[in-house]
Amino acid sequence: MNKVNLQSDECVIRKSSKVRHSGFMVSYKNELILTNLNIIYVKKGMFGRTKDVQTFPINQIKMYEGKPQVMLGKQKNGSPSLEIYFFNGQEIFGFKRKTEVVKWIRCINQVLCKEADSAATGQFAIPGTELIAETIKDTITSFKSILWNREKVSANCTACGAVITGYKGENIKCNYCDTFQKIQ
Ligand SMILES: [Zn+2]
C-alpha cells in the first residue's frame, strides 16, 4: 500500500511532517497522521512522493489506569521522540520539536479516553481491554499486599530492653547492644 486510504469513518485529528521512525540515518522527511482509528506513518521518497504507508491501530496501544502508554522520549542524538507502547511492541517516532510531541500525546490521550468512555457505555467494544484491566488490577492488589505485609513495628530488645523498630519478621540489630534478633 503506498497511498493513505482512510476508512469512511476515519477522520484526521493531527498531522505532522518532519517526522522519522526509529532508526539511524533516517531524515526527518516523513509524515505522521493521527486519526480517530490509527496512527499512520507515511514515508516520503524523492520529490515528496509517498513511498510507503504504515498503519498502527490506536486500539492496540496499551492502557494503564485509563491512560494510553504514550510518552515523550529522547532519541540518541538528544532530539525529542514520541514513544508509543503497543500490545506487540514499542514504536518510536522522532520529532524535531518537543512541543509537537507534547501535542501528539495530548491528542492521543483525548482520542483514546473518549473511546474508553464510549466503551463503558457499550457503544464500542475494544476486544481484550477488559481482560487486561483485570490483570493489571490483580497485579496491583498483590503488589500492595506485599507492601502491607511489610508492616513497620517496634518492640523491646530481647537483650537490653531498648526500643527497636523494623519491618515485621525482619532480622535486625539493636542499636544499643548490637544483639541480632527477629522483630515481631
Ligand atoms: Zn539491645
- For residue 66, what is the domain's CATH number? 2.30.29.30
Q: State the pTM of this model.
A: 0.61
Q: What is the number of domains present in the chain?
A: 2
Ligand 1 centroid distance, CA of 156 (Å): 8
By residue range, what is the domain housing residue 167? 134-182
4, part of any domain: no
pLDDT-derived band at 125 (thresholds 50, 70, 90) equals very low
Ligand 1 centroid distance, CA of 179 (Å): 6
Residues 23-74: tens digit of each pLDDT: 656 778 899 999 999 999 999 888 888 888 999 999 999 998 888 999 999 9
68, part of any domain: yes
Ligand 1 centroid distance, CA of 152 (Å): 18
| Residues 114, 138 within the same domain | no
Ligand 1 centroid distance, CA of 159 (Å): 5
pLDDT (mean) for 5-11: 90
The neighbour count for residue 28, using CB atoms within 10 Å, is 13
Ligand 1 centroid distance, CA of 176 (Å): 5
